[in-house]
Structure 1
Amino acid sequence: MPYSSNPYRALLRPLSVLYGWGVALRHFCFDRGILPQVSYPIPVICVGNIIAGGTGKTPHVEYLIRLLGERRRVALISRGYKRKSRGMIIASSSSSVADIGDEPKQILTKYPNIRLVVDGNRRRAMAYFMSLPEDERPEVVIMDDGYQHRYVRPSFSILLIDAARHPKDDHLLPEGLLREPLEQIHRADCVIISKCPANMSSIERRIIDRGLRLYPHQQLFFSRMQPKALCPVLSLGTETAQGRGSAPMLGDRVMALAGIAQGEAFVRQLSQSYSVVQSYCFADHHNYRGEDLARLEQAFAELSAEQADKPLWCICTEKDAVRLYEHRSLLSSALLEHLYYQPIEVKLLQRQEVFDRLILSKARPLR
């Protein structure tokens, strides 16, 4: 819930004060060396945020994997948010969403050649990587959602800020959505303003730049989310989409399905290309239950019958697709054949070559 729309924010303010004291004490201990940070002989690139939820960390991590994967042995550490397992999990193609979480599963499905470890204890995950034989040891580690996990000292930190949610307009948890005070922005080596409109003007970018008051050494970039061609959910596995004579066309009727932090934005984006006749927005990382799938099946059957001469499709996010794929045995063939997901990729608004060179330089072997 955005800060401005939270009717209980005044009641939560004392808790935010206490939370702020705890965060400040923790950072003081790290800054003074009371709590130890561990450095490693291989590059560790951290991707994180200071506002809870929905800044686009996963697409940015995927961007880094694509950029580095052809040049380096890449590994990823994720805490596996909302997974059902405990401890350290060395992910494999057989790992389920329950084992490693939906975002790691999405990444591993797309990039099966990376090493992926799920563990809230980042030092333990790094210790595992460093224990591997030298010819198998990763040459660069990406630490997803690691900005608050200071026990591992990254060699380079990327901080994401949603263009529509400037941190100066927010408050600390639980009154607002800030995970850390604003001054912690200055720990980042690079700041990316994410989810920008494609037509963001230079004046708008300058206003954001001045508002952040970054240090001279901090690089600032702006990115947007680029939707790609729709894909059948069945294409995530060994099943093929062959035999299907059609795919969603512009203007077709669709049901929209989103279990992400800002599901309404996904529905609005689909509405620009399709006729959205029904939408379902769940909480981020929603775990689909039998009743959810039954409701989806019923709605699909009823809406299909209303206009039998016009195709009906169900389009979900990529994160929802990996969950729904694992429940495919509970879905009818009629729905599965019309179930697609919308992949997205990160695009830099400007200076993409500068950003790529910066990341490649930070992924070089440390001396």
Structure 2
Amino acid sequence: MHLFKLLLFPFSILYDFITRFRNHLYDIGNKPSVRFDVPVVNVGNITVGGTGKTPHIEYLIRNLKSDFKLGTLSRGYGRKTKGLVIADHEANAKKIGDEPFQFYSKFGDEITVAVCEERIIGIPAILSEAPETEVVLLDDAFQHRKVKPQLNILLTDYKRLFTKDFVLPFGRLRESRYGAKRADCVIVSKCPEDLEEREKNQIEEEIIHYTKPETPVFFTKISYGVPKAVFDNNSSSEASLQKANLFLVTGIANSQYLTSELEKEAVVLGHKEFPDHHEYALSDAEKIIAAFQKLSGREKYILTTEKDAVKFRSPEFQELFRNIPFYYLPIEVSFQNGESDFLAIVKNKIREANRNNK
């Protein structure tokens, strides 16, 4: 395996050259970037998958929606539609993708949720649909250079820092580490609860080697809530994690953080792991139920993620899980340092852009 990975290194050099050259063309203006009148805040990464973009966007929604009219724009990975789709009461994961549908399920009455492969088309569409929009949150568009955001937020996973990684296919980076120079702030996500200041300072020193001078670095951790019923036909609307017997079902990029956190409180009897953005079929559900029923243990239940839960919410799945305890785990992010500074940066950037555009 190690030898095979070494054989990939020349391809990483080629891929690195291509992405650097593409970025250079944008940097010198040979390829145009559009800055819209409405402020655009991008949450992205330079690593393939699993840095926690979705809960960070939800964090921004919760903390900005009382001050600004918001819209979110994603590509809509895993959806069965193409082009522009603006979420409405008929939205589901197949139409707009799992993560955008999660946004719509939680905040649909308060924000505009849209998906479009071409953000340069999607942003004007949001403004046409909801002209009162004051901010557009871009999901995973750090490499989408056609749009120039007012604020570029770069995420990096604590356990997979971009500073220690390499470009695809030898590593997991979508572009060179120096792509971080486009970031206006960096968030180290999924940090352990007991992360010491000494280690934070060390990580910050590593990061600012690749960013613009004085780029702020923040640290966040994942906070899990009380498991909630996927369907309303469960005997209880909530379940406890404490010493619970769980059968875990995930279709996310990196489930290691989740499983390690669950094992601190509960017993994970089994884990059915699907690819990221997996579209669940009834046959998948039948296999999940069969595997669950084979497990021994009292008061056991199936647990999935919020992102996966939205894809099970249809009458067919509800009937199939009618007598099965099936719950999902709510997720939020919380800051370990400088939360007020972070929110001040975001809000000041938005207000400054809106003033300049009047």
Name the TM-score, length of structure 2 as normaliser: 0.92
| Structure 1 range deviating more: 58-67 or 206-215 | 206-215
Partner of 1:73: 69
| Structure 1 range deviating more: 341-350 or 12-21 | 12-21
Contact 2:226 2:240 in 1 (8 A): no
Of 31, 42, 47 in structure 1, the residue corresponding to residue 43 of structure 2 is: 47
Of 302, 306, 330 in structure 2, the residue corresponding to residue 343 of structure 1 is: 330
The RMSD of aligned alpha carbons is: 1.9
**Superposed CA offset, 1:6-31 (max 9, x none):** 76322222322222222112111111
Output the amino acid matched with 1:186.
K
Of 262, 273, 277 in structure 2, the residue corresponding to residue 270 of structure 1 is: 262
Partner of 1:227: 224
Partner of 1:237: none
1:94, CA displacement in angstroms? Answer: 1.5
Helix, strand or coil: the match of 2:114?
strand
Mark the CA change 1:132 to 1:265 in structure 2 (over 3 Å): closer, same or farther. closer
- Structure 2 alignment gaps of length 5 or more: none
- Mapping for residues 35-114 of structure 1, pairs under 5 Å: 35-112=31-108, 113-114=110-111
1:248, CA displacement in angstroms? Answer: 3.3
1:132, CA displacement in angstroms? Answer: 4.6
Partner of 2:321: 332
May I ask how many residue pairs the two structures share in their alignment? Answer: 350
Query: For the residues of structure 1 that align with 2:149 and 2:227, how far apart are their CA atoms?
Result: 36
1:123, CA displacement in angstroms? Answer: 0.6
Helix, strand or coil: the match of 2:313?
helix
1:44, CA displacement in angstroms? Answer: 0.6
Name the TM-score, length of structure 1 as normaliser: 0.90
1:354, CA displacement in angstroms? Answer: 1.2
- Over the matched positions of the two proteins, sequence identity in percent amounts to 34
Query: For the residues of structure 2 that align with 1:99 and 1:285, how far apart are their CA atoms?
Result: 13
**Superposed CA offset, 1:170-211 (max 9, x none):** 211122110010111111101111111111000000111111
1:330, CA displacement in angstroms? Answer: 5.4
Query: For the residues of structure 2 that align with 1:221 and 1:271, how far apart are their CA atoms?
Result: 27
| Structure 1 range deviating more: 163-172 or 203-212 | 163-172
Of 207, 214, 218 in structure 1, the residue corresponding to residue 202 of structure 2 is: 207
Does 1:252 find its partner at 2:247? Answer: no
Output the amino acid matched with 2:245.
R
Helix, strand or coil: the match of 2:49?
coil
Partner of 2:299: 311
- Structure 1 alignment gaps of length 5 or more: 235-239
Query: For the residues of structure 1 that align with 2:66 and 2:322, how far apart are their CA atoms?
Result: 38
Contact 1:47 1:147 in 2 (8 A): yes
1:252, CA displacement in angstroms? Answer: 2.3
Partner of 2:173: 178
Partner of 1:117: 114
Partner of 2:340: 353
Partner of 1:149: 144
Output the amino acid matched with 2:343.
D
